Amino acid sequence: MSGFDNNPFVDPVDMNPFQDESITQATSSTLGSAGEYNPFSETEMESHTSTTIPISAASSQPAVLQTSVEQSAQANAATGQAALIKQQEELERKAADLERKDQELQNSSAGRALHTGAKDNNWPPLPSCSPVKPCFYQTLRKIPEEYRRTCKRMYYLWMFHSATLFLNVLACLASFTAGSEYGVDLGLSIVWFMLFSPVAFICWYRPVYKAFRSDNSFSFFFFFFVFFFQVAVYVIQAVGIPKWGNSGWISSISMISTNLAVAVVMMVVAGFFTVNAILAVILLKVVHSKYRRTGASFTKAQQEFSSGVLTNRTVQTAASNAATSAAQGAFDRSQGN
C-alpha cells in the first residue's frame, strides 16, 4: 500500500531546475555584464567614433544619385524632342519639294500645251462628231492687253480675206454663165480660195499671233516678209487682170458690155479686194509700230532661228541622216578605189 501512497506526479528527486549550477552561472554572468554596460560612456563612445557613419555622408549619397537620374532623364527627353523636331522639319522640307516639283510639272505641261498646241487644240472650231479635229490652239486672252486689239484686227482681216475669195468664186461663176471663155477664171478662183485661205492663216496670221503672244522676233520678221507679198497680191486682185481668176476692176469693167448684172457683182468683189489692200497696208503699219515697242531685233531673230533649228527634232534627224549617207557614200567610194 505504500506504493499507492506515493504521488506519481511528484518527482522522486525534489530538484529545482533553476538551481542548476550551469544555469545559475550563466544567469549571474549575463546580469553582471548587462548592468555594467553603458553605451554612452566615454570609453564606448571613443571606441565606436571611428566606425560611426556621419549623417551628412549617409544622406548625401542618395541625393546625388537621384539628381543624376533626373538629369539623364531630362537629357533623354530633350534628345528625343530634338529628334522629333528634326524629323518634322525634314518631312516639311520634302513636302515642300514635292509641291514645288508638282507645280513645275504643271507649269511645264501648260507651257508645252500653250506653245505647241499639242493639247486642247481649239481651232478651227469643229463639232466633236467631226472626223477632223482642231489643228491649232488659239486664245486672245494669252496676248498682252496692249497687243490684243491689233491681233484681233488681224484675225478679222483674215476672215474678211477668206470671205472675199469665196465671193470671188461666185463672181467668176456668174461671169462663166455669161460666157464660156471665162471658165479659166472660174477654175483659178476655186484654186485661190482653197489655197490662199489656209495659207494666209498659217503664213501671216499665226506668225503675228505668236509674235504678240511671246514677243518672238523671228515671228515678227517672218510676218513682215510674208505679209508684204500678201499686200502685193491684194493689189493685183483688186486690179483684176483677165484670165488670172480675179474679179477685179479691169475684169468687171470689161464685163459691162457683155452683162451688166454680172459686171455689178464683179465690181462689188473688186471693191472687197480694194478694201483688203487698204486694211492690209494700215495694219502692216500698226504692227510695225507695235513691233518697235517690244524690243525685238534682227539679231534676236537670228538667235531664235538658230536655237529653234538646232533643237528641232525633225531637223536633227534630217541632218543625222544626211551625215550618215554622206559618210557611207565616202566609204563606198574609198572601197571602190
For 215-243, give the DSSP string.
Answer: T-HHHHHHHHHHHHHHHHHHHHHHHT-TT
**Whole-number pLDDT of residue 58:** 46
Sorting pLDDT into bands at 50, 70 and 90, what band is 56?
Answer: very low
Let me know the angle formed at the C-alpha of 114 by 113 and 118, rounded to the nearest 5 degrees. Answer: 35
One-character DSSP codes across 45-90: HHHHHTTPPPHHHHHHHHHHHHHHHHHHHHHHHHHHHHHHHHHHHH
Strand partners, 123: 136
DSSP label at 244?
A: T
The sign one gets for the Cα dihedral 315, 142, 195, 221 is negative
The single residue listed with the C-alpha cell 522522486 is: 12
The single residue listed with the C-alpha cell 456668174 is: 174
Q: Residue 136 pLDDT more than 80?
A: yes
Q: Residue 204 pLDDT more than 90?
A: yes
Q: Taking all residues of the chain, what is their mean pLDDT, rounded to a whole number?
A: 76
Cα–Cα distance between 214 and 121 in angstroms, integer? 18
**Whole-number pLDDT of residue 246:** 92
Domain coordinates of the chain in residue numbers? 146-296
Percent of the chain with pLDDT over 90: 34
For residue 146, give the amino acid letter: E
Mind listing the pLDDT tens digit for each residue in 66-122?
555 566 767 777 787 788 888 888 888 888 888 887 777 766 555 554 444 445 788
Let me know: does 244 contact 236? Beta carbons within 8 Å: yes
Q: Which of 41-55, 211-225, 226-240 has the highest mean pLDDT?
A: 226-240
**Whole-number pLDDT of residue 8:** 58
